[in-house]
Structure 1
Amino acid sequence: MTQEIYDRTYFEDGLASGKSLYNGFKWIPERSFQEAMAIIDAFSLTRDDKILEFGCAKGFLVKALRYLGRDAYGCDVSRYAICTADSDVRQYLKLCTPFNPFPYVPDEFDLIVAKDVLEHLEVSQLDMLLDKFRPSCEKLFVAVPIGDGTKFIVPEYNYDVTHKIAESTQWWIKKFQEHGYEILSYKPYMPGMKNNWTHYANGNCFFSLSSE
């Protein structure tokens, strides 16, 4: 995962350029608030809980969580996304770099959210980050697209040139367990999350994990 590819073209002209599915990546309140409430409900998050979204892009989920009174932060590898984040959320976002891919300390968060991000990693990068996440949070929420080892079940996901991991639900379960996580739950559908892809059975999976 390199910083350079996640540029303006990736977020604003992804379809036309063939880089991604994005076309004018912007704040859509009804989507972000649905996602935020889904996470709040799933983990019974209170105003005292500290939340990090890893791979936050422009920080839309972070913004929604903060509007809902939660202590939320974000980080992303894209300098473009962080620099163009809305002014009311930018101060809560950090840039991930090759030298500091996870710019936080142990025991800093109650929950880390990794939504639509882990599939962009090489497996070696995934292994490294799962090891870094574990001492830094009590719970980990992961949303990933599911595949057969080569292609994703949702055909459109194959159009993003930065997608690296198109593996099965069982592959992900084994990977999380290898790194010491307890699988609290996993399911192919979560109300409020990725509702536009539910017509593809088992096209996504939502994992709730414990790092303790």
Structure 2
Amino acid sequence: MQEIDFMSVLHKSTKRDYLGRVNDTEYPKSKAAVLAKKFDFDYWDGDRRICYGGYKYMEGRWEKVAIKLIDHYKLDCNSRILDIGCGKGYLLYDLKKLLPGISVKGIDISNYALEHSKDEIKDSLTLGNASYLPYPDDHFDLVISINTLHCLHASDLNCALKEMERVSKKHKYLCVESYTNEEQKTNLLYWQVTCEAFHNTESWKWLFSQSGYTGDYSFIFFD
């Protein structure tokens, strides 16, 4: 198990108005959260005050992360990859571009996201949830979950971590939102509309240990 940063290159490229999200008159955070947690149009392509405000494929954006994953885990065209919480599948698409023969699978609870995924990988994506993965034991060379598991309640989170461990025969990597100080904690509470697991970094590491998760991890902070 190793803490390794693959995600800050994307996370830090976005500017956020934390107080604006909480105090917006049309979409205050409580209303935005209700809409966002449906993981439908409003979450992906609705108003920016709710969540993404239009989650479109941007050439090269996810490729940065794909290259880091390929280099670190020594992936090749024979590798099998699973993305838990794949959304519209942009990272998997970029992995396929870089390694055309690679086998990619994605799973997500959002039917809207899967319907609006890249046509080139749509057949590789499955509707489902992280707590019960429809794959055999020791099946994937790398299992990833980026900015998804913090959306689960405690019992489901424990199951998801165990499932991630079960279906991987080798490498695992996850990224979750967290905090190390009161400023980061406050900003996280102000900004996040789908998070159910608000834990500092040490609590996350304890949860990993309790579930038997042995893979790599990183944290997203809201500074």
TM-score normalised by the chain length of structure 1: 0.77
Deviation of the 1:73 alpha carbon = 1.5
- Looking at structure 2, the residues matched to 46 and 157 of structure 1 have their Cα atoms a distance apart, in angstroms, of 39
Gaps of 5+ in 2: 1-33
Deviation of the 1:140 alpha carbon = 1.2
1:112 corresponds to? 143
Q: What is the aligned length?
A: 185
Percent of residue pairs identical: 25
Moved more, 120-129 or 66-75: 66-75
SS at match of 2:126: strand
Q: Does 1:84 align with 2:116?
A: yes
Q: 1:177 to 1:150 in 2, by over 3 A?
A: same
User: What one-letter code is carried by the residue in structure 2 that aligns with 1:126?
Assistant: L
Q: 1:172 to 1:23 in 2, by over 3 A?
A: same
Q: Is the 8 A contact 1:63 1:89 kept in 2?
A: yes
Deviation of the 1:165 alpha carbon = 1.4
2:62 corresponds to? 32
Deviation of the 1:76 alpha carbon = 0.4
Deviation of the 1:174 alpha carbon = 1.3
2:178 corresponds to? 146
- Looking at structure 2, the residues matched to 51 and 154 of structure 1 have their Cα atoms a distance apart, in angstroms, of 35
2:46 corresponds to? 13
Q: Does 1:169 align with 2:195?
A: no
Q: Does 1:180 align with 2:198?
A: no
More helix by share: 2
Q: Is the 8 A contact 2:175 2:218 kept in 1?
A: no
More strand by share: 1
Q: Does 1:203 align with 2:215?
A: no
Please report the RMSD computed on the Cα atoms of aligned residues, expressed in angstroms: 2.8
Q: Is the 8 A contact 2:105 2:125 kept in 1?
A: yes
User: What one-letter code is carried by the residue in structure 2 that aligns with 1:178?
Assistant: Q
Deviation of the 1:101 alpha carbon = 3.7
- Looking at structure 2, the residues matched to 93 and 122 of structure 1 have their Cα atoms a distance apart, in angstroms, of 24
User: What one-letter code is carried by the residue in structure 1 that aligns with 2:61?
Assistant: R
Moved more, 168-177 or 100-109: 100-109
SS at match of 1:182: coil
- Looking at structure 2, the residues matched to 53 and 157 of structure 1 have their Cα atoms a distance apart, in angstroms, of 26
Deviation of the 1:175 alpha carbon = 1.1
Higher relative contact order (Cα pairs below 8 Å, separated by 6+ residues): 2
TM-score normalised by the chain length of structure 2: 0.73
2:74 corresponds to? 44
Q: 1:97 to 1:177 in 2, by over 3 A?
A: closer
1:75 corresponds to? 107
